[in-house]
């Protein structure tokens, strides 16, 4: 059987998302801001009600353990920037990514990004997949990485973040038992 690159990338994304959905469906509101260690990266509510992610321009050593909130914001950031590049929009700045809050708002937000990605992915032709990728690699005119590589990177990044969120959810549940 001959499967196109496009069909394979979409299948891999859908498989990854189904594993992520397993955890999204089971997240409790309190899972999002649970801090599993003394050194965490999370989101904190500002005076105006907005959520601000912890951030360091130089990654600390050791790296703080991210919360589900931070990971879901992070997914929104890289997914949003990927969508911006894929649709020819100026990429949003990290500080412009507004996390909607814990619980259902975050889950709805992530699912909307999924839907937007599937629309974009569904519109890519073979020529689009072969085009040089503007993200997540620096644009230097080198076509070594293509839009197909970006789509594969989305799948890998989502798998990593989904596993992290799932592990945090399981750890919180086990720590309460």
Between 66-70, 86-90, 158-162, the lowest mean confidence (pLDDT) is in 86-90
For the stretch 139-153, pLDDT in tens is: 655 668 899 999 999
For residue 88, the surrounding DSSP H or E stretch is none
Spatial separation of the C-alpha atoms in residues 35 and 22, rounded to whole Å:
21
Q: What values do phi and psi take at 41, rounded to 5? A: -110, 130
Instruction: Give yes or no for a contact between 151 and 9, defined as CB atoms under 8 angstroms apart.
Output: yes
For every residue of 50-76, DSSP letters joined together read -EEE---SS--SSPPEEPHHHHHHHHH
For the stretch 5-50, pLDDT in tens is: 999 999 999 999 999 999 999 999 999 999 999 999 999 999 999 9
For the stretch 108-120, pLDDT in tens is: 999 999 999 999 9
pLDDT for 177 beyond 90: no
pLDDT for 2 beyond 90: no
Extract the tokens encoding 110: 């992530």
Pairing of strands 65-66, 40-41: parallel
């Amino acid at each position: 059987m001959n499967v196109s690159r496009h069909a394979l990338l979409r299948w891999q994304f859908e498989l990854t998302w189904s594993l992520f959905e397993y955890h999204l469906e089971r997240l409790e509101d309190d899972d999002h801001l649970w801090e599993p260690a003394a050194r965490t990266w999370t989101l904190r509510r500002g005076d105006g009600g907005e959520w601000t992610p912890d951030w360091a321009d130089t990654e600390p050593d050791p790296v703080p353990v991210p919360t589900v909130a931070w990971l879901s914001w992070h997914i929104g950031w890289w997914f949003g920037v990927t969508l911006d590049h894929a649709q020819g929009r100026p990429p949003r700045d990290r500080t412009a990514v507004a996390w909607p809050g814990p619980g259902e708002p975050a889950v709805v937000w992530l699912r909307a990004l999924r839907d937007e990605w599937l629309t974009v992915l569904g519109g890519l032709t073979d020529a689009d997949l072969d085009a040089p990728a503007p993200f997540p690699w620096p644009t230097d005119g080198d076509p070594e990485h293509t839009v197909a590589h970006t789509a594969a990177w989305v799948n890998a990044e989502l798998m990593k973040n989904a596993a992290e969120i799932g592990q945090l959810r399981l750890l919180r549940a086990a720590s309460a038992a």
